[in-house]
Amino acid sequence: MKTEAVYEGLKDLAQRLGITVSEQNFRRMGVRAKGGFCIVKGKPMFFIDKKSPLADKIEMLSAYLSTLPTDHIYLVPALRRRLQGTGEGPETRIPDETGKKSKS
């Protein structure tokens, strides 16, 4: 699956889960962050730095979405593998307290 298609698929999944993905230019606003999940006025949002490389955007969004229940939603196999940490590219697993990568 092409990188752009993976990113669009992840954004579509977030939308189906009721989460708005918003790309913002954090540097222009003076924010030193890459992005993350928050709730704004009761609405679930995932903010991503517009200037981040596409691979970083995919990694951040994959890592977050992999923590949510998605078994009830159809995903193409490549996206499902990515969320389960077996997709191509960097793993979507987050290190636990011991530093070992564990599934979130």
Q: What is the pTM of this model?
A: 0.75
Burial class (CB in 10 A: 0-12, 13-18, 19+), 42: exposed
What is the full DSSP assignment across 41-60?
Answer: TTEEEEEEETTS-HHHHHHH
What local confidence, expressed as pLDDT, does residue 98 receive?
A: 46
3-state SS, residue 86: coil
What residue type is assigned to position 52 of the chain? S
Least confident of 14-18, 26-30, 57-61, 67-71: 26-30
pLDDT tens digits along 17-38: 999 999 988 777 777 778 889 9
Residue-range domains of the chain with CATH: 3-87 (3.30.2010)
| DSSP H or E run through 82 | helix 77-83
